[in-house]
Structure 1
């Protein structure tokens, strides 16, 4: 699969998240419970759809924030806190297909950054399209925050 990578200027987007420190090996088993906590909080506030799921990887540990992009204010409870997706220059691509293949999209962005003189700043995130039972209809935006090219 080939990926088109573009550079855009991201604006901070408010999120409701549960933050965690984990390992890459443990993360696949950890994130569903974190996302469930966020959706339980939203449903308790009367929101049951319309918020796109997000995963923000702050570093390579990984320290992560798993949750949703908020389009409206919402009371947050428990471990769910307010945060935001980063603002600034980003390299972006769109991945289409089952989530297990997202690593290839991240690698494509990393390769593009290396080949175009845009050093990554560290944080990177995924914004998920609406759920579909057909993996061919699934799409995910992959964003890498950039340092200025130099």
Structure 2
């Protein structure tokens, strides 16, 4: 699948997240309980929709933040904390289709940055569009912060 990559300046976006330092091997088993905790916090505040899921990777350790874009104030409980997606210059693409194919979108951004001689900071994130049972209607925004 072809992924068009563009450079944009983005504003910070507030998030509610659970943060963790983990390993790439452990992360696949951790992200869903982390996200479930954020949604439990939102539902307790009577927020049931309108907050897109996000995963922010701060480095390759990885130090990660899993949660949602926060579109309205919400009391945060438990391990859920306030954070934000970073502001600044990013290389980005939008992936349409199965989450299992997200790696190709990340590879496309990395390759494009190398071709364009753009340095990445190591910080990157994914913002997920609304769920749909049809994988062709699923989209994910992928951003890599540029130096």
1:4 to partner: Cα distance: 0.4
SS at match of 1:46: coil
Write the distance in 1 (CA, Å) between the matches of 2:107 and 2:75. Answer: 37
**Once superposed, what is the RMSD of the aligned Cα atoms?**
0.6
2:3 matched to which residue of 1? 3
* Correspondence list, 1:50-129, <5 A: 50-129=50-129
SS at match of 1:51: coil
TM-score for both structures, normalised by structure 2? 0.98
1:42 to partner: Cα distance: 0.3
Write the distance in 1 (CA, Å) between the matches of 2:30 and 2:108. Answer: 25
- List gaps (5 residues or longer) in structure 1: none
Displacement over 4 Å in runs of 4+: none
1:47 matched to which residue of 2? 47
SS at match of 2:20: strand
- List gaps (5 residues or longer) in structure 2: none
TM-score for both structures, normalised by structure 1? 0.96
1:16 matched to which residue of 2? 16
1:23 to partner: Cα distance: 1.2
1:65 to partner: Cα distance: 0.1
Write the distance in 2 (CA, Å) between the matches of 1:21 and 1:99. Answer: 22
Write the distance in 1 (CA, Å) between the matches of 2:97 and 2:22. Answer: 25
Write the distance in 2 (CA, Å) between the matches of 1:56 and 1:100. Answer: 18
Write the distance in 2 (CA, Å) between the matches of 1:101 and 1:109. Answer: 14
SS at match of 2:92: strand
